[in-house]
Structure formats: structure tokens, C-alpha cells
Structure 1
Amino acid sequence: MGKLERSRVKLFAILFFTLFCSMMGAGIVAPLLPVYALNLGAAGIMIGFIFSSFSISRSIALPAVGYLSDRFGKKKFITFGLISYVAVSISYCLAKSAWTLVFIRLGHGLAAAMIVPVASAYVGELSPSGHEGKYMGILNVGVFGGLGVGPFLGGVISDAWGMKTAFLTMAALNTIAFVIVLLLVPERKGTGKIIEASSYFKLLKNGRILALMTYRASHFFGVGIIWSFMPLLIIGGHRLSTTYSGGFISLSVLTATILQAPVGKMADHYNRKIIALLGGIFMVVAMAIIPFSSTYTMLCTGIILSGLAGGFIAPAISALTVSEGRFQHAMGSVMGLVLMGQSLGIMLGPIIAGELMDLYGISAAFLSGSVVALVGLVLFIVFGKDFTCETVIEHSLPVRGA
């Protein structure tokens, strides 16, 4: 292994561990927030708005953060995002009303826009051409692994020592991640030309980028519903504790985690579009099964299917995004736009599902996720017609911005 390769592996390992710690901290909130919001007087639509406020601020910030990180360097955004996470974690302990949680979640979303998207763009630039699926798949193990462990850990800590202890644990994990990045990660600027802000409109006219954005949005519409309302389904419908609620969410995320590396490698050798579409089919079925689960076996089946969806979609879409970012010479900008689609899905899912829950019950909330996932499949096929069977997109696309 040469010096350059050793340096690449070292940086990758540091960013992997950093994202694992940070996302584990973020995952701790998942099983607690709906119950916390209910205790502060929130109804279904308000719970959805509390969850969605995170994605509102994240969606607004992502394009600007992607552009600025391409121009001024990525490390400063990651470190500022991590230290902001610490402040947000402590703020959760001080919330006195449902509206206070809304403002805390807005701050949480701004901080989040500076961490995973920018770190993913950093790794995207590190990854060798033709190995995007492998690198992004392994990185997603850190992201999904942290999110998978977090909800279960949050449920256990909350049941044993209270919610505020869980929030402080989130602060501690992000402090560790902040110190690691500050001391061990070098600054890195974009490797290609810097696009002007007006060029975002050109990127948004690109069919491949629209396909990636809409598919991310439709998938995370359902993910947002699971994270927002699964605790209410488990605790209210099945009469189980917060630990079980966190455990079921963790089951979904850990299922996705296990698949990230092998499916990422698969995405370097087989048609990434087909792999992503298979994940979408899993999501359609999962969101239809979960609300009508009368037994724990049926509920686990739906949860595992939702994890399989993430296990196929995330590495394939991440690899396509990195290839497109390299092709456009704007890794941070393309990554920011695609993840903005993800944030829009997480933002709209809980709000729409919350309104449906108030009107028709919790089953309608989950079924809306199945319908949107199906629409996402169709749009991905339509907008993504330029994706070919080639594994590396920049080798197969003749015209930029087509």
C-alpha cells in the first residue's frame, strides 16, 4: 500500500468513526422525541411539525453549505456543525414547550447540514474512480450503524436514567467527534472548478440530478414517518416500552447497515439504477405492512423490509451521486442538492402523516409513505432515463447537463 493510499484509508477511517459517533448521538433522539413532545402537550400534527422543522432548516442550508464547502474547504463546516450539535443536545434538556422543541429542531437541522453532506462530499473526492459504491457503501455503514445503535441506546438510557441523560449522552458523543476532526482531519478544498450560485438552476434541470433528488425525497418521506410515528404505534398500539420502541427502529436501521458494504461493492459492478429500484419496491411493501401488523412477527417483517429498502437504495444512490458530482466538477454542490431532496422528504413525511393521523388514524399515516414510495419509483424511472448500465456514470454520459 503506497503512501497516498495509506493517507486515504486513514482519513476515511477517521471520517467513518466521526460520523458513527455523531449519528449515534442523533439516533438517540428518535424514540424519545415523540413521547417528549406529547408530554409537552403536542398533538399529531405538532409532532410531525417538530420532526419536520429539522428538515426545513437543513433543506434551506444544504445548497449554500455545499457551494461554500466547495469554495472555502470542508473541515471548518464539519467542525462547526459538530460543536453546534453539542449545543443543540444540551438545549433539548431545557425545552419547556412544544414550540421550544420546534426552534431547537431548526437549530439541529442547520448543524446537520454541515456534517454528513460535507463529510460525504469529502469522502466522495477521496474515492477512486470506479470504486464510488465501495467507499460510499462503507461510509454509510458508519452513518446507518450510528443511527441504528442510537435509538436502542436512547431507549435504554431513558428508561434507566431519564430522557435528559440521553440528551447529554448525545452531547458527549458529538464532543468526541468534534475533537477527532479538529485534531486529525486536514482541510480539503474542492478538486474541480467552483460553480456559480446561478448554476444551481442548471443542475436542477439535469434529469439525472432530478432523479436522484426525487428518489431520495420519496424514500425519506417514509423514513420520516417511521422515525416520527413508530414510537406512538409501538407504545400506544402495542403497549410496549420506550426500549422496545427504540429497538424496532434500530432493527430497521441495522438491517440497512449490514447491507451497505456488500451492496456498495455490488453497485460498482452492476446496474446501480436497478439496485436502487429494488430498494424502492421493498419500501412500498414495508409501509403497507407496518400499520396492519397484528403480530410481532408481521411487525418485524415490515420493519426489516424498510431496512432492506435503505440497504439497497443508500449505496446505489450515493454511488450515482458521487459519480455525478465528479462529472459536474462540483462534488459538494451535487451532494448538497441530492441530500436536500432527502431533507424535503423527511420534512414533508411527518407533517402530512401527522395530519392524516389526526384525521383518519395512524394507519393512514403509514400508508401515505407506501403511496409516495410508489410515486418515487415512477419518477426515478422517468427522470433517470439517462442512467445507463455502465457502473461509472462519468464514463457513459456524453453531454454535461443533459
Structure 2
Amino acid sequence: MLNRILVTVVLSVFIALLGVGIIIPVLPVLATSLGASGFALGLITAAFSLSRGLLQPVVGNLSDRWGRKGFLVGGLFIYGLVGLLIPHAGSVGHLVMIRLFQGVGAAMIVPVAMAYASFLAPPGQEGRYMGVINIAIFCGIGCGPIAGGIVSDMWGLASVFHIMAGLCFFSFLLVMVNMPSVCPIDQRQQVGLWVNIRLMLNRRRTMGIFIARFGTVLMMVPTMAFLPVMMAQWPDSTGFQTGLVIAGRTLVNALLQYPFGWVADRCDKVLLLLIGCGCMSIAVFLIPTMTTFPTMVGIYLFLGLGEAVLWPVLGAYAAEEGRTHFGHGTMMGVFNLAMSAGVFTGALLAGMSMDSLGMRQAFFVTAGAIMLLTVMAAILIRSGEAAGEAEEQRPPSSPCG
């Protein structure tokens, strides 16, 4: 039964995020056709991030108390509706409102899916289970833009959004039919959100996990948004090459999630955290120095390797904290809020650095910020564990066992 739940969650998340990824290359085109300015394009993105970020902890906490299936099917249904509504948007304001609505659905999907995996993971296998969910997330988002570009070229913009709706409604039916009506609830965790947040703020280990999650996604905007601008300045550079660079990073990250999840379950997580973030910082620092397509592919593959080391470690940490202290849904909700805050802050940091120092220096500043925050996080996690904050389910391995 538990394996069926996990397989259903993984498939539904993959299909839903494949649908979401499909619209990535075409949504800005639609917005521009409606007269969107640069500020409006940013607002359309921010609207989604705002509603998703604010609601994730609330949904996560309620899922601990009421069960998870209802939230997951609700989020998938909202995503399907969004796919039907976007082609009928008559103005930029309509798109902003639709994206706010989509953020509500997003708050019900990924954090709840991660809470499922966290709940189902046997003690000592948290990294592997969270790695499986990460595979679904990265493969869905990574494959979606390629499919979206092909569909748009063949059948037009509206068809992309209709396919998104179809995929999300299919995931909705998959969960409705295949998921047991009585789904896991954290019976021990019936504490309100604000009580849990106060407890989180008082635990060094938990705050270290959140800081690491926040710091390691600062590079999302510069590594995604600035890359096409840099490569467009090269002679004979193509959009297809840019897509290959991004796809290579995502593919390496996805393929290595489960193996490094196994490593995270057996090795010193703080050491792995520092190694993964060190690789990421080096890659981000070197990106603006690359001047050819092969070298850019290589540095993005290295970046994907660092992410593959890192994500199962942080997911395993979050699963442990959810099991022993806060409830899986509450922990994953706040954990993902830290990610949303990091992406937003990284966008601001990169934008201000670029405007005042230049694009090249923006990467250097971001790389330094990632490493600084990671070291702070590692110190907090290690000191919290030394103080007995970690309620280990098994003897720790040093460095591997």
C-alpha cells in the first residue's frame, strides 16, 4: 500500500510539473502579445511566487492535521483550470490574477508530495525517498520546456496551455483513483503553525537547514535568466544550444538524485552539504568566464553534480525534522517557503549586482553569498546536533558506514 502511494505521488508530480514546464517558453510570449512591459513580466512571475510561498506553510500544517490527499487533488485540479484559463486572458491583469491562482495550486502540490515521501521514508532512508521525489520534479520541469517549444511550433500557443490542462487533469484522476481515501496523517503532530514556527526559530539545527535551503537557490535566477543573454553574444550561438546547456544540468541532477540519496543516508550530511555547495559556488563563479559552447556545457554539468549532492541531503534533513518535531507537512511547507524566499532574494541580488557592477560580477557576488550562507548553515546544524537537538533514528556514520 505504501509503495503504491509513493509511486502515485511521484507519477502525479512528474506529470503535473511536465505540464507546468511546457508553458515556460510560451507564457512570456503570450504576455508580450497582451502588451506586457518588462515590469509586468516580472509581476506575472512574482504573483505566482507570492501566493505559493505564503501558502506553503499553511497547507503543509493543515495536511498534517487533516490528511494530504485532498490538498494534492485540489492543487492538481487548480493547475488544470489554469491551463484552460490562460489562453482566454484578455489583459496582463488577467494573467497576474491567473498566476496568483496557480500559486495556490502550487502550494498544494510539491510540499504535500514531499511530505508524503517524508512520511513514508523508513528511518535511515530519507535521502533516497526524497531523491525519488526530486527526480520527478527535475524531470518534469526539465522536459517540459522542450516539449512546449515543439508543441508551440506545431500547433500554436493555445495548444500548449490545453496540453498543460490535460496533463494536470490526468494527474488529478490518477490520484483520485489510485490513492487510498484514508491517507497518512501525522497523528502526533496536531500543533498549530505559529507554535511550530516559534519552535523552529529556537532550534539551531532547523534554522541551519532553512538557511542552507535559502542560500543554495540564490543562483537560480542568474544561472537561468542570464545564460541566454551571455550566450547570445557569442558568434553563431543558437537558442537550441542554450536549451541543451540547461537540459544537461537538469538531466545530470535528476539522474544522480537516487545514488546521492543513498550516499546521504550513509555519510556525514554536513560534509556532503559543504561539498555540494562548494561545487555549486565554484560553478557559479566560473560561468561568466566560459566563452565556448562545450565549456559552458561542462560547467553546467558540474553545477548539476553539485545540486545532485545537495538536494537529497537537505531533503533528508527536512524529513528527519518533520518526523521528530514538527510534522512532515509543516516542515516541508516552511522548507519550501525558504526556497521561494531564496529564489526571490537571488533575483534581487543578481539584478542589483548586474546594474551596479555588471553581469560578470553578479555571478561572483552570488557565488560568494552561497558559500557564506552554507558555512553559516553548517555551523548551526553541527552545533545543534552537538547540543543534542537531533533525535537520531540510528547511530550516525563517520564519515560513511
Task: Please classify the TM superposition score into its range, dividing by the shorter chain length.
Answer: 0.7 to 0.9
* C-alpha distance in 2 between matches for 1:45 and 1:237: 27
Q: CA deviation at 1:67?
A: 0.9
TM-score when normalising by structure 1: 0.87
* C-alpha distance in 2 between matches for 1:171 and 1:240: 34
Partner of 2:173: 179
* C-alpha distance in 2 between matches for 1:84 and 1:108: 7
Choose 137-146 or 109-118, whichever is displaced more: 137-146
Partner of 2:117: 123
Q: How does 1:152-301 map to 2 (within 5 A)?
A: 152-186=146-180, 187-188=182-183, 189-199=185-195, 200-234=197-231, 242-301=239-298
Partner of 1:343: 340
* Per-residue CA distance 1:112-134 (angstroms, 9 max, x = gap): 11001111111211111111112
Choose 41-50 or 243-252, whichever is displaced more: 41-50
Partner of 1:12: 6
Sort the Cα spacing of 1:347 and 1:69 in 2 relative to 1 into closer, same or farther, 3 A: same
**Structure 2: unaligned runs, 5 residues or longer:** 395-401
> Do the aligned partners of 1:52 and 1:351 also contact (CA within 8 Å) in 2?
no
* Per-residue CA distance 1:354-399 (angstroms, 9 max, x = gap): 455455554455444323312321221232224659xx953279xx
Partner of 1:372: 369
The two structures, once aligned, show a CA RMSD in angstroms of: 2.7
**Structure 1: unaligned runs, 5 residues or longer:** 1-6, 398-402
* Per-residue CA distance 1:58-80 (angstroms, 9 max, x = gap): 11101111111111110000011
Sort the Cα spacing of 1:232 and 1:173 in 2 relative to 1 into closer, same or farther, 3 A: farther
1:268 aligned counterpart, secondary structure: helix
Sort the Cα spacing of 1:95 and 1:359 in 2 relative to 1 into closer, same or farther, 3 A: farther
> Do the aligned partners of 2:288 and 2:360 also contact (CA within 8 Å) in 1?
yes
> Do the aligned partners of 2:219 and 2:346 also contact (CA within 8 Å) in 1?
yes
Choose 113-122 or 273-282, whichever is displaced more: 273-282
2:191 aligned counterpart, secondary structure: coil
> Do the aligned partners of 1:136 and 1:315 also contact (CA within 8 Å) in 2?
yes
> Do the aligned partners of 2:205 and 2:390 also contact (CA within 8 Å) in 1?
no
TM-score when normalising by structure 2: 0.87
Q: CA deviation at 1:226?
A: 3.1
Q: CA deviation at 1:297?
A: 1.4
Q: Does 1:132 align with 2:126?
A: yes
Q: CA deviation at 1:40?
A: 5.2
* Per-residue CA distance 1:283-308 (angstroms, 9 max, x = gap): 21222233342110121123212212
* C-alpha distance in 1 between matches for 2:243 and 2:176: 31
1:221 aligned counterpart, secondary structure: coil
Partner of 2:65: 71
> Do the aligned partners of 1:31 and 1:227 also contact (CA within 8 Å) in 2?
no
* C-alpha distance in 2 between matches for 1:358 and 1:262: 40
Sort the Cα spacing of 1:303 and 1:90 in 2 relative to 1 into closer, same or farther, 3 A: farther
* C-alpha distance in 1 between matches for 2:58 and 2:291: 46
* Per-residue CA distance 1:161-189 (angstroms, 9 max, x = gap): 33332232222211111110111112322
Give the % identical residues: 31
* Per-residue CA distance 1:162-220 (angstroms, 9 max, x = gap): 33322322222111111101111123222323112331222222212211112111222
1:394 aligned counterpart, secondary structure: coil
Sort the Cα spacing of 1:244 and 1:36 in 2 relative to 1 into closer, same or farther, 3 A: farther
* Per-residue CA distance 1:75-120 (angstroms, 9 max, x = gap): 0000110111112223332345555443333222221110011111
2:108 aligned counterpart, secondary structure: coil
Sort the Cα spacing of 1:26 and 1:382 in 2 relative to 1 into closer, same or farther, 3 A: same
Q: 1:22 aligns with which of 16, 31, 47?
A: 16
Q: CA deviation at 1:27?
A: 2.0
State how many pairs are aligned. Answer: 389
